[in-house]
Structure 1
Amino acid sequence: MTELTPDTARLLAPALAHSRYLERLFTRHPELAEETATQIETPFLKDEMLARLPTAACSDEEFKVHLRRLRQAVMARLIARELTGRCTFDEAGRTVSELADVATATALKQIIQSETRYGQPIGEDSQTVQELIVVGMGKLGGYELNVSSDIDLIFVYPETGETSGPQKIENHDYFTRIGRRLIQMIDDPTEEGFVFRVDMRLRPFGDSGPLVCSFAALENYLLTQGREWERYAWIKGRAMTGDEKGLMELITPFVYRKYLDYGAFQSMRELHAQIRREVIRRDRADNIKLGPGGIREVEFICQVFQLIRGGRVRALRQRNTRTILAELVDQGSLPHQAAAELDAAYVFLRNLEHRIMYLDDAQTQMLPTNEDDRARIAVSMDFADWPQFLAALDAHRAIVTRHFEQIFDTSREAPAPSPAGAWLDGDDDEGLQQLAAQGLADPREARRRIQALKNSTRYLQMSERCRQRLDSLLPHLLHTAAALPAPDATFARLLDLIEAIGRRESYLALLAEHPKTLERLGEIYSASSWVSGYLTRHPILLDELLDPRLLEQLPDWPALAARLRRELAEHAGDTEARMDVLRIFQHSQIFRLAVQDIAGLWTVEKLSDQISLLADLILQVVIEQLWPEIPGRHRETPLYAAIGYGKLGGKELGYASDLDLVFLYEDDHPDAGEIYARLTRRISTWLTTHTSTGMLYDIDLRLRPNGASGLLVSSLEAFEQYQRKSAWAWEHQALTRARFCAGNEEIGRKFEAIRQSILRQPRDTAKLRAEVVSMRQRMLETHPAKETDVKHCHGGLVDIEFIVQYLILAHSGEYPELTANTGTIALLATAAQRGLIPADLAEKSRNAYRELRHLQHISRLNDGTLDAERLAPLAGELEAARGLWGVLFGELV
C-alpha cells in the first residue's frame, strides 16, 4: 500500500489493523485513504452520496463505475468511523441502507432516461404514467442493513397497460426490462466490485415467478397463495421508489389481521417451532445470526408480537427492530428489563456482525476460527483477548435464548392439541400401549414425534391424498423399526425422512407401494445415523433403493464416467442443470458405496480407494466441463493438473472428507497464469456451491505454495523451485501423501518426478527429527492426545503417519521404494524389510493403524465417539506404536 502521511496513518490505524478489505481498497485507491482521514469526523449522509453521482447523461457502464466508487467511499469512511469509535450501530445501518436507496433510485432514473424506444408506461384504467415500485425487504426495509449484506428486493407496478412510444409493449414487459437492467446496474461485478448483491427470491412464487407484478397480481397472490412466512417477511417491506401509499394499502391487510383467531395463533406457534427446528437442524452454533441466542431470535421476538398485535396497534407496524423493542415496553408486551437486555444484546451482536464482515467485505455471520481474525475481532470489540470477548458474547446469547424461550412458552394460548394416539386408532393410553407393544423403549418420545409430525405445517399443508398415504405408512414404519436393532432410534430417523419428503407424494408412494424398499430403508436407517441423515438430506436417492443390484454391482468407473459425460452433454449450455447432474451422480455413488459398506462388502482401505476414485472422476469431469467456458482460453485442452494432498492424496477419503488440492500448469502462453487462475476459481465454485441438490465437496487450497497468501495456481517450474528452496519441513511431510488426481497426465508424470526428487534429497536426520517432533507438539496444542481420540492419541493415527513421513524423508534417498504412494500400512512394512525399524514394532503398528482407521470409520458412520472399552483390545498395538515413536524420536511427544 502507498505510504500514508503520519496523520492519516494514525487516524486510520485501528481500521487498517482490523480490515483486510480496507487495506486492499486503499492499495487500489490511495487517494481514498487521504480523503477518508480528512472526512472521518463527518457521517456519510444521503446528500453527499447524491452529490458524488453524475447529473449529466452518461452510459450505463460509466454510471456503474460511479456507483461502485461511491460504495467504496462510503464503506471506507464507515469502517474508519466505526472502528475508531466515531460511529454508532444505528448510524452504520442507516448509512448502508441510504446507500442502497440512493443507488437504487439513481440507477433506476438513469435506466429510464436512457430507455427511449418505448415511451412511458401508461395505466390502462387511470391513463397516467406508471412508476416501478422497488420494495426493500428485510433489514433494508428497517434502515438497519448489514454493511456487507445483499439486498432483498421485490418489483411492483400499479397498473397493467402499454407504453406510449412508437414501439409499444405491455407495461409488464417494459418493467421487466427495466428491472433486469436495474439488477445488473447494482449487482454486476466489475473491476471496481459491485454495489449490492441483489436477491429477488422473496417475490411472489420465488425464483419461478415473474420478475415484476402488478398491484392486481400481487393482491391475488397474497389472497390465494400467501403464507405465514410471507407475512413475516413483509413486515419490513418498504417502497424505495414509486407509490408507497398504494403499496401499503395492499400489503397491510395481508400482514396485519384485524382479528386474531385460534387458527392464526396456531400458525404462529408452528412458525416459531419451525424456525427453532431449522436452527437446530443446521447446527449453526457459531452463526451469530441464526445460531442460538443470535440476531434472528431478537428479530423474531419483535416480529411475532407485530404479527399478533399489529392489526390493532399501529405503532407496532414500524420496521426498525430497536424501535419495536421500545414500543413493546410502551405497549406492556415486554418488561422494561427484558427489552433493555434484548436491545443491548442486539446492538452487541450487530456490532460484532459488522466487524466480522469488515475483515474481508464478506457476507458472513460465522465466528472466525483462525487466531489472527479472532484477535482482530476481540480488539475491535474492545476486549483484551478472545476469551474475554467470547465470555461477553456467550452472556448476551444466553440472555437472548432465555427470553426467546420464555416468550414462546408464554405465547401458548391455544388449547392442547388432540392426543397423538388418535393417529394410532386409540385413546391416549391405548396409543402408548400400542407403541410399547412394538418394542419401543421410550413410547412417550415416539408419541411426541408422531404428534409433532401430525400437527406440523408440512402435514397440515399436504394434499388430502398425501395425508392418506402418510397415515397408512406410519404403522409400516413402526413395524419396520420394531424388527430391527435400536428400534427407537430407527423410528426417529425414519420420521425425519417422512418430515423431509412429506409434500412429495411420489416419495410417499414409493415407500407405500414397495414394502421391500421400506425394509431395506429401515435396515440402512438402523445401521448408520450418518447414512440415514445423508439420505434424508438427499431423498432423490430413494430411487436407488429400487435397484436390485444395489448390493451386487460394484463401481465400474470407466462405465460410470461415460454415463456421467453423456448426461452432462444432454444439458450443454445449462450451468445449473450440469451442476445438478454432477451432484446427483456423486450423491448416488456415495450412497451406493455406503449401503454396500453397511452390508460388509468393503474393507476400510478398499472403500477409501473407491471414494477417492470418485473424487478423481468428479475433478476430471469438472475440468473438462469448465475449460471450454474460460475467457481467453488458447488451447483445446488445458495444460493443467489437480494434485491431491492429505486424505485425497493418500487415497484415504471418507464419506464426508474435504479435498486438499493444489493446482499446477505448464504453459508458456503469456496469460497462462491468469487464465488458469480463472479456471481454478470456477472449479472451486462448482465444487463448493450449494444448490437445491446439495454440494459436491468442501475444498482446502491452503497447501499450495505460500499457503493462503499464494497464487491459486502455480506453474510446474515455480512449484518445483518453491519445494526446493522455500518449503518448510511440514510441506515436505505433506508431499509424501500427494498424487496426481485429474487433468493433464503429462503434468501429472512430471509432478511425480519432482515429488520423488524432493523426497529423496539428502537431509540432516537429526534436524529432521527435531522438526517432525516440533510439528507434532504444535498439533497437540490444538488437539490434545485424548485416549479415546483414535487420530490424536499417543500411538494413534497421526503418530503413525508422522513416523512413516519421517522414514520417507530420511531414507528414500537410499531406498526409493519408500516414495511409492502405497499407503501407510504398506510403507511400514517396506521400512521394516529394509531394517529401518524393528519388524515386531512395525507389524503391531500396522495392525494398530488398520484397526484404528476401522474404529474411526465406525464412529463416523454413527456420528458418535469411542469409549475406552472399544480401544482396550488394541492396548498392545498402541503400546508398540508408542514404542516405535520412541525408537525414532527418543521419547513420546
Structure 2
Amino acid sequence: MKPSLIPAEQASRFYLHWLNADREKRQPKIQALSQTPLNRLDFPALLKQETDSGYSLPRAMRRIRNLLVCTIIERDLSGKADLSEVVEAMTLFAEFAIRTHLASIYDELADIHGVPMGAQSGKKQEMIVLGMGKLGGRELNVSSDIDLIFVYPENGDTVSSRPGQRLLSNQEFFTRLGKRFIGALSEITEDGFTFRVDMALRPNGASGPLVASIGMVEQYLIVQGREWERYAWIKARAVTGNPEDIETLQRIVRPFIYRRYLDFSVIDAIRNLHQQIRADVVRQERLHPERSNNVKLGRGGIREIEFLAQMFQLIRGGRDQALQDRSTRNTLHILAEKRQLDEETVNALLDSYTFLRNLEHRIQYLDDAQVHSLPSNENDLLLIAQAMGMDDSRQLLGTLQKHREFVSAQFDAIFSDKSTPQDQSKPVIPQPLLSSQTEEEQIHTLQTKFEMLGFADTKAAAQRMLAFWKTNRILSLSDNNRTKLISLINSLLPELRASAHDPLVTLGRLLDFFESIARRTAYLSLLTEYPAAAHRLMKMLDASEWAARYLTRHPILLDELLDARTLLAPPDWHFFTSELDRQLENQRSDTERLMDTLREAHHAQLFRFLAQDLAGGLTVERLADHLSKLADIIVEATLREVWLAMPKRHRDTPRFAVIAYGKLGGKELGYASDLDLIFLYEDDHADAPMLYARLAQRFITWMTSPTSAGILFDIDIALRPDGASGLMVSSFESFERYQNESAWAWEHQALTRARFCAGDETIGKRFEALRNRILRQPRDPAWLREKILEMRQRIHDAHPNRSALFDLKHDAGGMIDIEFIVQYLVLEYSLQYPELTENFGNIALLKMSEGLGLIPKDSGEKVSAIYRNFRKLQHQIRMQGAEQAKVTPESVIEQSDEVKKLWKQVFG
C-alpha cells in the first residue's frame, strides 16, 4: 500500500478537529505512540493515566479511543501500519473496553443486588459477551460498530451476604448489566463514544430479550435458527465469560453452523441473502445517489469476498475443523493450503480485500463516520484518492473498478444461478405423476420422449422411468427437491445418445443413483450448482457398473467431481499424508469421527484413481501401485490412531509391525481387494503379548467395522503361523522359528509376495532379512514341484468352472498358473540368484527369469505380456460389475496355450 500523498490533518477532518482541540498536548502523544506497532499498546497503562487525571471510566475510555484512532490514522496514512496492524489494534482495544466496562458494572450491580448464582450448578454466573462480525473475526474497522450477543449460563437468582439488598433473577440482573454496559460504550458525550453497539444479531433480533441463557440459545437455534444466522455465527467469539461456560455454548453452536456432511445447499441460501442485500443497496442508491459506490455491500465489494470464504466454511467446515477460522483473511489462506482455491486466485482475492478495506478506512477517516460509500463530493473524493497514494480520483475509480470486476467475476462463478430455462427443442422427460394421465398414457408419453432421445427399447425405458417416479423416496420429496431432480434428469438424459453401453443400462444406473440421494438436498444442490460435475457423474455411471455402485454407496464423493484438475491430477502423497495426519490429530477425542475420516480420505483418493482409470489415464499396473501405496498409508495411520487410543500403553510408539501378503504384498491391489496381513511384535514388556493382541484386534475392528462412511478394508489373517488355529499376533522370534522349522511349502510360496507394510521399521527390516534368508534356502526341486502342484490342484478344486467360458484367473493357462510359475522360480533359484527375492512383481520377475536363463528365450517376455493382458481384461470385466472374470475361450486360446506351454516346460 502506497503512503498517503497528503498528511493526516488534510485526509481526516476528525483528526484535525481532535488535534486542534489541544494540539500542544495531543500531538506529542500521537508522535510517541506512532513509533511502535499499535497492536502492542498497553491499554491498562493508558487507562490508568486517564483515570489518575480525574476522568471517569467511560470518559477515560473515550479519550483513549480517540487517541488510538488518530494514531492509527497517522501510522496508516504514513505507511507505517498495514491492514493487519490496524484491524488487530482496534480489535484488541474493543476487547479491552468490553472486559473493563463489564467487570466494573458487574461489580456495581452485585454490590446492590448480590451475585447471580446458577440454580442447578450453584456456581457464580458470568456473562458471556460474544463478539460477532468483524470483532469476532479479529478484523474490526476503525469506525465500525461492534455486533454483540449477551449470554448467561443458567437461570437462578442473585445471592447476597448483606441484608437489605434487592435480589434479582439472573435474567433481570444480566439484562440490567447489558443495558448499562451498552450505554457505557455507546452513549455520545463531549468526548464522543467508545463504540457503537449493535445487538440485532441476538436470538429473535430486536424483538428478543437483550440477554439469553445458554438453554434459550440452544432452543432458539434448534427450533428457529435461520440460514443467514449460520453465516453470522461463524464469526461468534467469546470476549468474556467462564471458559467452561464458553465451551458449553460452543458445543451447542458448532453443529448449528457446521454440518457433518458437505452442505452445498448453502450456495443457494447465500445467493438469496446476497440478492436481498444487493436489492437493498440498489434501493438506497436510487433514493440517495450520494451513497453509490458502496465498497462493502456493492457489486464486487468486501461482502462478496466474505461470502466466498463463508461458503467454503459452511460447505466443508463440519468435516474440516481448520476451516472453522473466524478471520476472512485466514480462511482464504487455508483454502489455498487445502487446494480448494488455487493460490493465484486467493492472492488476488486477498489483494482486493486489502485494497477495499484500506479504502473503506480512508472513507471513514474523513469524519469518523460509519460509512462505506465513496463520497459524491469531488473534493472529498480527491482527498480519499490522495490518501490512497493516488494522484486523482480517476485513478482511484479505475483501480477500484478492476478490483470489483475481479471479485464479482469470482463471486458469479460460484453463486450465479445455474438453473437455466429448459430448451424446448430438446426432449423433456416430465414427471408423469404430476399429470392426470392413466398409466398407459404416461407410458405412451414417455415412449415418445425416449424415442426422441434415440432409445431402441422405448417401452422398457418408459417403464423404468415411471417406476422411478413411483418409488416411496421420490413420492415423498419436497417440491424444491423434486424440481431440482427433474431439472437434473432432463439436463443429463440427452447424453445417453452417446452412451458407450446400452443406454437403458445407463438410465437404470442414473435413476438408481438419484433414488439413493433424492432426499439429500446437499447432493442435489451440488449437482445443480456445478453442471460440469453432473456431466462427469453421467460419464462415470455410463462407463462402469462398479463405479455406479461405488458412487451410490458413497455419494459424498460427488465433491471430488467439482474440479477436473484435482480429479485427474497424479497423487501428491506428501500432501495427502500430511493432510490426513492433521485431520486425525484434530479429532482424537472422537473415535467415530476418526474412523470416518480414515474412510473418507481413502474413498476420496480411490475415487480419483477410478476417474483417472475410466478416463484411460492409468495402466492396470500403475493403478495397482497407487492403490497399494494408498493402502499402506491408511494402514499406517490406522495403526497409529488405534495405538494412541489404547489405555495402559507403555510406549509412545508400539514395537509392532504389519506385514502384507497377497495382492497388497505384491503391490497388485485392486479396488475391492481385501488385505492379507499378519502382525509381528518385538517387545520384552510383561504385558506385551496381551497388549499387542488387543492392538491387532482393535486395528481389525477399525478397518472392517461399517460406519456411516462405510468400511476401509476386509482383513484376512489366515496366513499367520498355524492359520486359523494360530495366535493373532506373533513375536518376531516365534515367527522366525516357525518359518525355519514348521512352515509349509505353500507358506513359503506366500512369502514370495510378502513385505513390511506399516509399523516399527526395525521389525520391518528384520522381517525383510528373514524373508530373504527363507526364500534363499536350498530346496529339493522335485519335492518343491510336487508341493506346488499339490497346492495348484487344491486351488483348482476349490474354484470349479462350470461354465463354457474361460476363467482368466483360475483355469489352466490363466493367471494363477503364471503366478505359481513365478513363485516356483523364486523358491528354486533364489539361492543361486538372490536378486529373485526382490519384490518386483510377476511381470518383472518373469523377464528377469528369462534373462537368467531359467526359462526359454522369449517366454518371459511373451508370458509377462499375457499376464498384463489378462489383468487388464479382468479389470475391465470387474469394472462392469462381474464377480468373476470370464471370457470366451476362443478370444484367449493362443495366450492360454502359451502359458500352458511354459507351465509344462517348468513343471514337466
Is 1:696 aligned to 2:712, yes or no? Answer: yes
For residue 813 of structure 1, give the secondary structure of its aligned residue in structure 2. Answer: coil
2:496 & 2:436 partners in 1: Cα distance? Answer: 18
What are the Cα deviations for residues 454-479 of structure 1, in whole angstroms up to 9, with x where unaligned? Answer: 12211222222111211222222322
Structure 2 unaligned blocks of 5 or more: 1-431
Check the 8 A contact 1:480/1:518 in 2, yes or no.
no
Cα 1:865–1:423, aligned 2, differ >3 Å: closer, same or farther? Answer: farther
Is 1:466 the equivalent of 2:481?
Answer: yes
Cα drift, residue 840 of structure 1: 2.2
Structure 2 residue matching 1:849: 3-state secondary structure: helix
Distance 1:580 1:769 in 2: 47
State the number of aligned residues. Answer: 474
Residue of structure 1 in register with 2:463 after alignment:
448
1:754-765 equivalent positions in 2, closer than 5 A = 754-765=770-781
Match of 1:846 among 845, 864, 870: 864
Matched with 1:602 is 618
Give 1:738's aligned residue: 754
Question: Would the aligned equivalents of 1:477 and 1:491 in 2 still touch at CA under 8 Å?
Answer: no
Q: CA 1:504/1:720 → structure 2, altered by over 3 Å: closer, same or farther?
A: same
- Of 784, 787, 801, the match for 2:819: 801
Separation in 1, partners of 2:874, 2:435 = 40
1:512 counterpart SS class: helix
The whole-number CA distance in structure 1 between the counterparts of 2:731 and 2:810 is 35
Q: Which residue is 1:773 aligned to?
A: 789
- Cα shift at 1:866: 8.3
Q: What does 1:782-861 correspond to in 2, within 5 Å? A: 782-784=798-800, 788-861=806-879
Alpha carbons 2:877, 2:885 under 8 Å: kept? no
The farther-off stretch of 727-736 and 629-638 is 629-638
Q: Is the 8 A contact 1:421 1:432 kept in 2?
A: no
Counterpart check, 1:515 vs 2:527: no
In 1: Cα distance, 2:520 partner to 2:488 partner: 14
**Secondary structure of the corresponding residue to residue 643 of structure 1:** strand
Decide whether aligned partners of structure 1 residues 604 and 762 sit closer, same or farther in structure 2, where only a CA change above 3 A counts. same
Distance (Å, rounded) in 2 between the aligned partners of 1:420 and 1:593? 44
CA distance in 2: counterparts of 1:834 and 1:485, whole angstroms: 45
Question: Whole-Å Cα distance in 2 between the matches of residues 667 and 833 of structure 1?
Answer: 43
For 1:818, the aligned partner's letter is L
Instruction: State the AA in 2 paired with 1:769.
Output: R
Please name the residue that 2:651 is paired with: 635
Tell whether 2:548 aligns with 1:532: yes
Q: How does 1:55-74 map to 2 (within 5 A)?
A: none
Matched, 1:883 2:883: no
Q: 2:632 aligns with which of 592, 600, 616?
A: 616
Report the identity percentage: 50
* Separation in structure 2 between the aligned mates of residue 535 and residue 748 of structure 1, nearest angstrom: 36
Give 1:517's aligned amino acid.
A
Amino acid paired to 1:776: R
Shift in CA distance, 491/550, structure 1 to aligned 2, threshold 3 Å? farther
Q: CA deviation at 1:420?
A: 8.5
Query: Residues of 1 paired with 2:509 and 2:566: CA distance?
Result: 21
Q: Is the alpha carbon distance of 1:793 and 1:427 closer, same or farther for their aligned partners in structure 2, counting shifts above 3 Å?
A: closer
Give the distance between the partners of 1:707 and 1:459, measured in 2 at CA: 49
- TM-score, length-normalised on structure 1? 0.51
Amino acid at match of 2:631: A
Residue 839 of structure 1: SS of its match in structure 2?
coil
Contact preservation (8 Å) 1:609, 1:651: yes
Matches of 2:708 and 2:900, distance apart in 1: 47
Shift in Å at residue 623 of structure 1? 1.0
TM-score, with length taken from structure 2: 0.51
Mapping of residues 175-214 of structure 1, within 5 Å? none
- CA separation in 2, counterparts of 1:775 and 1:433? 59
RMSD, matched Cα: 2.1
Q: Hey, what does 2:393 align to over in structure 1? A: none
> In 2, are the aligned partners of 1:790 and 1:856 still within 8 Å (CA)?
yes
The question of whether the paired residues in 2 share the 8 Å contact of 1:665 and 1:714 is answered with: yes
The SS at the match of 1:773 is helix
- Quick check: 1:829–1:843 contact (8 Å CA) kept in 2? yes
**CA deviation map 1:128-179 (0-9, x unaligned):** xxxxxxxxxxxxxxxxxxxxxxxxxxxxxxxxxxxxxxxxxxxxxxxxxxxx
Structure 1 residue 422: deviation in Å? Answer: 6.1
Pairs within 5 Å for 1:213-362? none
Q: How do 1:32-71 residues align onto structure 2 when only pairs under 5 Å count?
A: none
Cα separation, 1, equivalents of 2:569 and 2:774: 41
The residue that corresponds to 1:674 in the other structure is: 690
Indicate the larger mover: 514-523 or 780-789.
Answer: 780-789
User: What is the CA deviation profile of residues 266-306 of structure 1, one whole-angstrom value per residue up to 9, with x for unaligned ones?
Assistant: xxxxxxxxxxxxxxxxxxxxxxxxxxxxxxxxxxxxxxxxx
Q: Provide closer, same or farther for how the CA distance between residues 604 and 596 of structure 1 changes in structure 2, counting only shifts above 3 A.
A: same
Q: Secondary structure at the match of 1:549?
A: helix
Query: CA separation in 2, counterparts of 1:478 and 1:448?
Result: 15
Residues 436/649 of structure 1: CA separation in 2 closer, same or farther (3 Å cut): same
Q: 1:808 to 1:424 in 2, by over 3 A?
A: same
Q: Matched residues in 2 for 1:523 and 1:887: separation?
A: 46
CA distance, structure 1, for counterparts of residue 436 and residue 614 of structure 2: 34
Shift of 1:480: 2.6
Assess if the C-alpha contact under 8 Å between 2:808 and 2:885 holds in 1.
Answer: no
Contact preservation (8 Å) 1:425, 1:431? no
Q: 1:478 — aligned with what?
A: 493
Whether the aligned pair in 1 keeps the contact of 2:481 and 2:524 (CA below 8 Å) is yes
Q: Which residue of 1 aligns with 2:229?
A: none
Which of 1 and 2 has greater Rg?
A: 2
CA distance in 1, matches of 2:847, 2:461: 52
- Alignment equivalent of 1:438, drawn from 453, 471, 475: 453
Q: Deviations over 1:14-48 (max 9, x none)?
A: xxxxxxxxxxxxxxxxxxxxxxxxxxxxxxxxxxx
Q: Decide whether the 8 Å contact of 2:740 with 2:774 is kept in 1.
A: yes
- Aligned-partner SS, 1:615: helix
Q: Partners in 1 of 2:492 and 2:849 — Cα distance? A: 53
> Post-superposition shift, 1:876?
2.8
The answer (yes or no) to whether the contact 1:419–1:428 under 8 Å persists in 2 is no
Cross-structure match for 2:661: 645
Q: SS at 1:572's partner residue?
A: coil
Contact persistence 2:473–2:518 (CA under 8 A): yes
1:729 aligns with 2:745: yes
Amino acid corresponding to residue 732 of structure 2 in structure 1 = L
The 5-angstrom pairing of residues 109-128 of structure 1 reads none
Q: Quick one: distance in 1 between partners of 2:508 and 2:905?
A: 50
* Alpha-carbon displacement from aligned partner over 1:29-82 (angstroms, at most 9, x marks no partner): xxxxxxxxxxxxxxxxxxxxxxxxxxxxxxxxxxxxxxxxxxxxxxxxxxxxxx
- With over 3 angstroms needed to count, the CA separation of the structure-2 counterparts of 1:676 and 1:644, relative to structure 1, is same
Please state how far the C-alpha of 1:421 moved relative to its aligned partner. Answer: 10
2:13 corresponding residue in structure 1: none
2:881 aligned with 1:863: yes
Cα distance, 1:520 vs. partner? 1.0
Once the 2 structures are TM-superposed, how far is the Cα of residue 559 of structure 1 from its aligned partner?
1.2
- Structure 2 match to 1:583: 599
Counterpart CA distance in 2 for 1:574 and 1:463 is 34
> Structure 1 CA distance, aligned partners of 2:625 and 2:593?
29
CA contact (8 A) 1:641 1:744 kept: yes
Q: Would you say the 8 A contact 2:584–2:594 is kept in 1?
A: yes
Matched, 1:541 2:557: yes
C-alpha spacing 1:512/1:870, structure 2 compared with 1 (3 Å): farther
Encode CA deviations 1:299-324: one digit per residue, 9 max, x unaligned: xxxxxxxxxxxxxxxxxxxxxxxxxx
Partner of residue 555 from structure 1, selected from 571, 584, 589: 571
User: Against the structure 1 CA distance between its residues 425 and 775, is the aligned structure 2 distance closer, same or farther, given a 3 Å change threshold?
Assistant: closer
1: CA distance, partners of 2:790 / 2:435: 60
State the secondary structure of the residue aligned to 1:714: strand
1:658–1:696 distance in 2 versus 1, CA, 3 Å: same
Partner amino acid, structure 2, of 1:493: R
Structure 1 residues 780, 419: CA separation in 2 closer, same or farther (over 3 Å shift)? farther
1:302-352 superposed Cα distances (whole Å, 9 cap, x missing partner): xxxxxxxxxxxxxxxxxxxxxxxxxxxxxxxxxxxxxxxxxxxxxxxxxxx
Q: CA deviation at 1:431?
A: 1.9
